[in-house]
């Protein structure tokens, strides 16, 4: 379905780890599953092969520039159809992966995709982000949390930083013009135990642009966070 040769070439151009034949076959199968399931449940508005290749797969794989250590435990908060973490898992099978989403239909898709793609050390959890962040089995248990979400970084940090171990990172995939949003989120990030470490910017084919905001967890998150979602939205930190 997708042009795997082009994806392999783009991975080289963007200094990503080499994609093996098996990885490319898995990504192609993932694209087919995405389109097939999208006819039954709303997973994505992007269903053309080129769009999937650039806007989903290449965009997701850019997360590998966040400097993810070997065997790092990764959680994708509000993962939707599995972006960015499933392409990352395919490229980095060493990473134990937790996919968390609030919609059970999407979780069913993710479970099916992980099984059919033969991805080991994956678990799919049906939970709201703020509820998962208060769960002892998940709270501060991950080396890296990620999210590719439209939520403001101010709010996204409260959803995601509680999952991260001290010393780990929260890597947020955001739009290209991020400076104003970063300034607004500074207080929230600090309050939650984080510190902005780096912002990486990328320009993708077709005028697609992406920032990856890397936030280091330098101290534990106070137990009162995350708050209920209504409160997060109404009174951001």
Please tell me the distance from the alpha carbon of residue 212 to that of residue 101, in angstroms, as a whole number: 21
Of the candidates 144, 164, 145, the one whose C-alpha atom is nearest the C-alpha of residue 225 is 164
- Position 77 scores a pLDDT of 97
> In the structure encoding, which two tokens stand for residue 88, read together?
């990352």
> Given a cut of 90, is residue 151 above it in pLDDT?
no
pLDDT for 62: 97
Residue pLDDT, tens place only, 82-141: 999 999 999 999 999 999 999 999 999 999 999 999 999 999 999 999 999 999 999 999
Residue 88 and residue 61 in contact, taking contact as beta carbons nearer than 8 Å: yes
Strands ordered across the beta sheet of 164-174: 122-126, 97-101, 74-77, 142-147, 164-174, 208-217, 194-204
Average predicted confidence (pLDDT) for the chain: 96
Q: How many CB atoms lie within 10 A of CB 175?
A: 10
What is the rounded CA–CA span in Å between residue 13 and residue 135?
Answer: 40
Does the pLDDT value for residue 208 go beyond 90? no
Q: Are 130 and 102 in contact (CB under 8 A)?
A: no
In sequence order, what are the residues at sequence separation of 6 or more whose Cβ sits closer than 8 angstroms to the Cβ of residue 79? 85, 86, 99, 100, 101, 106, 110
| Domains of the chain: residue spans and CATH | 68-234 (3.40.50.150)
> Is the dihedral angle over the CA atoms 148, 151, 153, 159 positive or is it negative?
negative
Structure tokens at 119: 């991805």
Kindly write down the DSSP assignment for every residue of 38-83, as one continuous string. Answer: HTTS---S--SHHHIIIIIIIHHHGGGGG-PPTT--EEEET-TTTT
Closest CA to 110 of 191, 181, 195, 43: 43
pLDDT band for 193, please (50, 70, 90 cuts): very high
Q: What pTM was computed for the model? A: 0.96
């Amino acid at each position: 379905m997708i042009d795997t040769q082009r994806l392999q070439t783009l991975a080289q151009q963007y200094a990503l780890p080499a994609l093996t034949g098996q990885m490319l076959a898995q990504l192609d199968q993932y694209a087919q599953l995405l389109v097939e399931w999208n006819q039954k449940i709303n997973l994505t508005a992007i269903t053309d092969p080129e769009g999937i290749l650039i806007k989903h797969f290449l965009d997701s794989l850019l997360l590998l520039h966040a400097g993810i250590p070997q065997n790092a435990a990764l959680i994708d908060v509000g993962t939707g159809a599995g972006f960015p973490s499933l392409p990352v898992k395919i490229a980095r099978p060493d990473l134990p992966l937790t996919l968390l989403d609030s919609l059970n239909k999407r979780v069913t898709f993710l479970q099916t995709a992980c099984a059919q793609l033969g991805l080991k050390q994956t678990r799919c959890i049906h939970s709201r982000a703020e509820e998962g962040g208060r769960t002892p089995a998940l709270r501060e248990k991950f080396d890296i949390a990620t999210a590719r979400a439209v939520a403001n970084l101010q709010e996204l940090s409260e959803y995601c930083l509680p999952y991260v171990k001290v010393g780990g990172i929260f890597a947020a995939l955001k739009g290209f013009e991020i400076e104003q949003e970063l300034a607004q989120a500074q207080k929230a990030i600090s309050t939650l135990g984080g510190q902005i470490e780096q912002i990486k910017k990328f320009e993708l084919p077709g005028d697609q642009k992406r920032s990856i905001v890397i936030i280091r967890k330098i101290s534990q998150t106070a137990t009162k966070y995350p708050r209920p979602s209504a409160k997060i939205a109404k009174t951001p930190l």
